[in-house]
Structure 1
Amino acid sequence: MQIREMIPQDRKSLRKLYLESRRRTFYWDDPLLMHEEDFDRDTQDEQIFVAIEQQQIVGFISIYLPENFIHCLFIHHEFQGLGIGHLLMQQAKKVTQRPIRLKCLSRNHEALAFYEKEGWQKVHEVKLHDPYWEMIFPD
């Protein structure tokens, strides 16, 4: 497993991974409203690291460094549960200052369990149309 910074040639694979992962994870949203180009918009101005296994991108994390905010963490469904999310989180911890923040939808129970296992703490649940937890990784 290799973790490295994204290069321009990765964009096509990342767009596809992001779209497929969102459609699978956020099954309650209309999949027709999700597009490959969303990756470009949703990761603009963010530092992106990719996980490579057998020359294939199997996951990525995007970080908005000015706010130490993890915006995206997606792992290809066939590679979940193998420690890739943990490795990407370790990389994020190397390039950010503490505390690190993220948001996780309240109904995304698998992701919440992952973050808590990784040492993240729930701070506050924001009760909007689609409630989410603000979480921090403390000092």
Structure 2
Amino acid sequence: MEMEIRPMRIAEQEQLAAIYLKARQVSFPWVQDPQLADFKRDSMGESVIIAAIDGKIVGFASLNRLLAFVHLLFVDPDWQRMSVGHRLIEEMDKRTQRPLTLKCVIENKPALAFYKREGFEILRENRNDVPANDTLIKQKNE
């Protein structure tokens, strides 16, 4: 299996929307009535990269490059624990000079554990947000 990480092509938006919807339905019980159209709205203006294995898109990430903020990082539930998320983070880290930051819902224990393994640390707890979340930061390797 060979994994390719590259920028999203416009024609791939529907595939990414399906991954986004499926992953949120499986892992995000706090999201009320997720829709396919959410992907386009939620990634607007961001740099979107995809991960493909043997030509099949299995995950994606969106990055606000100016802020070095990872807005979305989703891997098809059927392809999790296969280094897809790791490779997406590596690529985003290359695309910015600043430390990467992101927010992760506190209830999403598997995602928080993943980000910790990737070298992210809690910068700030946002307990009053709905849902409550942590802001995480990954320092650049010197």
**Residue 78 of structure 1, CA deviation:** 0.8
Structure 1 residue 29: deviation in Å?
Answer: 3.2
The answer on 1:98 being equivalent to 2:75 is no
Distance in 2 (alpha carbons) for counterparts of 1:42 and 1:11: 12
Identity %: 34
| Maintained 8 Å contact 2:24/2:31 | no
Partners of 2:116 and 2:57 lie apart in 1 by 25
Q: TM-score, normalised by structure 1?
A: 0.95
Q: Kindly tell me the number of residue pairs found equivalent between the two proteins.
A: 137
Q: Answer 1 or 2: which has greater helix percent.
A: 1
CA distances 1:36-66 after superposition (whole Å, capped 9, x unpaired) = 1100110000001101012211000100111
The residue number in structure 2 matching 1:126 is: 126
Measure, in 1, the Cα distance between the counterparts of 2:130 and 2:61: 25
How far apart, CA to CA, are the structure 2 residues paired with 1:23 and 1:132?
Answer: 19
Query: What is the Cα-based RMSD across aligned positions, in Å?
Result: 1.0
| TM-score, structure 2 normalization | 0.93
The answer to whether the 8 Å contact 1:99/1:137 transfers is yes
Structure 1: which amino acid aligns with 2:91?
A: Q
* Preserved CA contact (<8 Å) 1:61 1:72: yes
Q: CA deviation at 1:129?
A: 2.9
1:21-42 Cα distance to aligned partner (Å, 9 max, x none): 1111102433xx2111100110
1:14 aligned residue (8, 16, 19): 16
Which consecutive aligned stretches of 4+ in structure 1 deviate over 6 angstroms post-superposition?
none
Partner AA of 1:15 in structure 2: A
The answer for unaligned runs of 5 or more in structure 2 is: none
Q: What SS does the aligned partner of 2:97 have?
A: coil
